[in-house]
Amino acid sequence: MDEKKLIFSAIQPTGTFTLGNYIGAVRNWSSLQEKFDCIYCIADMHAITVRQEPAKLRQHSLESYALLMACGIDPQKSILFIQSHADTHACLNWILCCNTQFGELSRMTQFKDKSQRHPDDINAGLFTYPSLMAADILAYNADMVPVGVDQKQHLELARNIAQRFNQHYGEFFKVPKPYITEVGAKIMSLQDPTKKMSKSDDNPNACILILDDKDTIIRKFRRAVTDSDTLVAYREGKDGINNLMSIYSAVTGKNYDEIENEFAGKGYGDFKTAVGEAVADHLEPVRTEFAKLMADRAYLKQCYSDGARRAMKISSKIVSKAYHKVGFVDRA
C-alpha cells in the first residue's frame, strides 16, 4: 500500500476568517485529511511581524484554532497545533535564514506591501519571515503545500532554500510541491469586485465574516455592487455578478449554467438575496460548532496540547538531523 503524502498548511490568527478564506482555503482542508496526512497550524509567530496587542493575539489564536475545528478539521485525523508551541520552527528558521539570500527576501512582494502599510515598523522579522515559512514546511518534510496566488512566491522560495541546503549538505529535505485545490474560487470584495475580499477593508459591507449572523450576511449581499444590466450570467465585464455567481456556486455546488437557468427572468435583487440566504445557511453549522468549542476551553487546550506534542515528535527528529548536517554538536 502506498504511503500517504504529507500536506502542511498554516493560517494566521487575524480574527474571524472571511468567506474568502473559507471558500478559497479552509473548507478544502477538511477534505484533504481523507486523502493525505495533514499538518495544520495557527501561525501566531508570523502574526507578530506586525505589532499585535497580546491579549487579542491570544484570543484570536484560540478562536482561529476553534474555527478550523468548526470548519471540519478533525484533530484526530490531522495534526492541528499552534505554531509557537513547537519551538522546532524557530530553531530550523535560523539555519534556513543562513541559507537564504538577502536578494531573495528583498524581492518578496508581501514584504514590500506590508512595509508600505506599516512604515513605522519595518522589522527584521517582517523581512525574514519567508524563511520561517520555509521552516514551517521543511520541519515536517512536507510533500505538498496548498497555496493560493498570494503564497506561490513564498513556496517557490521554500523550494529554493531546500534545494540550496541539499546541494551544500547532501540530500535531506524534500522539495515541497504546490497543491492546487480543485475548487476554491478567489472571492472578491462585495463593494469593489476588482479587489480581493479582506477584513481590513474600510467598508464593513465589503466583507463576509464566517461568524456573521444570518441577517448580517443577507444584508451585506443585498448591498453588493453589481452593474446596470439585469442578466444573471457569468460574462466578461460583470465583475460583481461573476463574484456572486462564484460564491453561490461554491456553497450550492451548482455550475454557472444551472445558476443562469435558475435566475432567468429574475432581477439582481432576487439573486443577491438568494446568495445571502445560501451562504448563511451553509455557514450555520460552522457558527454553531464554533460556539460549542469556545464554551469548552479545557477541551480546546487538550486538543492543541496534543497537536503540539504530535508536531514536536515529527519535527524534532528532522531538526536534529538538520543540526547534525550543518555541523552542530549532537545534543543529548
* Residue 283: CATH number of its domain: 1.10.240.10
Residue at 23 is within a domain: yes
The catalytic residue among 5, 196, 214, 325 is 196
The three-class DSSP label of residue 288 is helix
In this structure, the answer to whether residues 209 and 271 fall within a common structural domain is yes
Q: What is the pLDDT of residue 149?
A: 61
- Are 23 and 114 contained in the same domain? yes
- Both 175 and 46 in a single domain? yes
Q: Rounded mean pLDDT of 259-269? A: 93
- For residues 160 and 235, membership in a common domain is answered with no
Say which of 114, 174, 220, 238 is annotated catalytic.
114
Judge whether 197 lies within some domain. no
Annotation marks residue 196 as catalytic: yes
At residue 16 the predicted structure's pLDDT band, cuts being 50, 70 and 90, is: confident
- Judgement on whether residues 168 and 63 belong to the same structural domain of the protein: yes
Percent of the chain with pLDDT over 70: 97
For residues 218 and 307, state if they share a domain: no
d(Cα 193, Cα 195) in Å, to the nearest integer? 5
Q: Do the strands 79-82 and 144-146 form a parallel or antiparallel pair, or are they unpaired?
A: unpaired
- In this predicted structure, the answer to whether residue 243 has a pLDDT above a threshold of 80 is yes
CA–CA dist 82, 10 (Å, integer) = 9
Same-domain status, 263 and 309: no
Give percent helix, percent strand, percent coil of the chain, each to the nearest 5: 55, 10, 35
Quick: pLDDT tens for 174-216. Answer: 999 998 765 456 899 999 999 989 888 889 999 999 999 999 9
Q: How far apart are CA 192 and CA 19, in angstroms?
A: 15
The whole model's pTM is what? 0.90
| Average pLDDT score, the chain | 92
16 lies in the same domain as 92: yes
Output the pLDDT for position 1. Answer: 46
Grid coordinates of 110: 508581501
The SS3 call for residue 8 is strand
Range(s) of the domain holding residue 272: 204-291
Domain shared by 220 and 133, yes or no: no
Residue 163 lies inside a defined structural domain of this protein: yes
Gyration radius of the chain over CA positions: 21
Mean pLDDT of 240-267: 94
Residue 136 lies in a domain: yes
Residue 35 has pLDDT above 60, yes or no: yes
Percent of the chain with pLDDT over 90: 74
Same domain, 125 and 20: yes
Number of domains in the chain: 2
What is d(CA 200, CA 25) in angstroms, rounded to the nearest whole number?
Answer: 18
CB 181 within 8 A of CB 28: yes
Per-residue pLDDT tens digits for 97-147? 999 999 888 888 777 777 777 788 788 888 899 999 999 999 999 999 987
The verdict on 67 and 137 lying in the same domain is yes
| Annotated catalytic residue within 5, 177, 199, 325 | 199
Q: Decide if 48 is inside a domain.
A: yes
Confidence of residue 275 (pLDDT cuts 50, 70, 90): very high
How far is Cα 292 from Cα 66, in angstroms, rounded to an integer?
9
Query: What is the pLDDT averaged over residues 246-255?
Result: 94
Residue 1 lies in a domain: no
Residue 24 and residue 240: Cα distance in Å, rounded?
18
The answer to whether residue 283 scores a pLDDT higher than 90 is: yes
List, for residues 305-326, the tens digit of each pLDDT value.
999 999 999 999 999 999 999 9
CATH number at residue 23: 3.40.50.620
Catalytic annotation present for 199:
yes
Are residues 30 and 112 both part of a single domain? yes
Tell me whether residue 116 is in a domain: yes
